[in-house]
Amino acid sequence: MNTDLTTGNTSRLLWAFSIPMLISVAFQQFYNIADSIIAGRFIGEQALAAVGASYPITMIFMAVAIGSSIGCTVVVSQLFGSKHYAMLKTAVGTICYSGAIKLNTFGITCMTTLSNGLSSFTAQNLGAGKKDRVQEGFRAGAKMGILVSLPFVLVYFFFSEAAMGLFMKSESAEAIAAGAMFLKIVTPFYFVVSTKVMCDGVLRGGSAMLYFMTTTFTDLVLRVVLAFVFAIGFGLGSTGIWLSWPFGWSISCILSYVFYRKKPWEKRSYDTL
In angstroms, what CA-CA distances link 207 with 17, 175, 204, 229, 230? 20, 43, 5, 35, 36
Examine residue 1 and state whether it is found in any structural domain, yes or no. no
Check whether 83 has a pLDDT greater than 90.
no
Examine residue 5 and state whether it is found in any structural domain, yes or no. no
The pTM of this model reads 0.70
Q: How crowded is residue 173: how many other Cβ atoms within 10 Å of its Cβ?
A: 12
Considering its fold, how many domains does the chain have in total? 1
Long-range contacts of 66-73 (CB under 8 A, 24+ apart): 70/116, 70/119, 70/204, 73/116, 73/119, 73/120, 73/123
pLDDT value of residue 2: 59
Domain of residue 44: give its range. 10-266
Sequence letter at residue 30:
F
As a whole number of angstroms, the distance between CA 70 and CA 84 comes to 19
Check whether 61 has a pLDDT greater than 50.
no
Among candidate residues 40, 140, 142, the one with its CA nearest the CA of residue 97: 40
pLDDT value of residue 50: 47
How does DSSP assign the chain, residue by residue? -----SSS-HHHHHHHHHHHHHHHHHHHHHHHHHHHHHIIIII-HHHHHHHHHHHHHHHHHHHHHHHHHHHHHHHHHHHHHTT-HHHHHHHHHH--HHHHHHHHHHHHHHHHHHHHHHHHHHHHHHHTT-THHHHHHHHHHHHHHHHHHHHHHHHHHHTHHHHHTTTS-TT-HHHHHHHHHHHHHHGGGHHHHHHHHHHHHHHHHTT-HHHHHHHHHHHHHHHHHHHHIIIIIS--THHHHHHHHHHHHHHHHHHHHHHHHT-GGGG---S--
pLDDT digits 0-9 by tens, 211-227: 988 998 898 888 888 88
pLDDT mean over 49-54: 48
Check whether 24 has a pLDDT greater than 90.
no
Which of residues 92 and 220 earns the better pLDDT score?
220
Check whether 14 has a pLDDT greater than 70.
yes
- The band of 88, judged by pLDDT with boundaries at 50, 70 and 90, is low
Examine residue 192 and state whether it is found in any structural domain, yes or no. yes
Examine residue 190 and state whether it is found in any structural domain, yes or no. yes
Residues 123, 206 contacting (CB under 8 angstroms): yes
Which of residues 121 and 177 earns the better pLDDT score?
121
Examine residue 149 and state whether it is found in any structural domain, yes or no. yes
Instruction: Select the highest-mean-pLDDT range: 99-103, 112-116, 149-153.
Output: 149-153
Examine residue 26 and state whether it is found in any structural domain, yes or no. yes
Examine residue 219 and state whether it is found in any structural domain, yes or no. yes
Mean pLDDT of the chain: 77
pLDDT digits 0-9 by tens, 162-200: 988 887 777 667 778 888 888 999 999 999 999 999 999
Least confident of 58-62, 145-149, 253-257: 58-62
- The band of 28, judged by pLDDT with boundaries at 50, 70 and 90, is low
Examine residue 109 and state whether it is found in any structural domain, yes or no. yes
Residues 155, 165 contacting (CB under 8 angstroms): no
- The band of 240, judged by pLDDT with boundaries at 50, 70 and 90, is confident
Which of residues 56 and 173 earns the better pLDDT score?
173
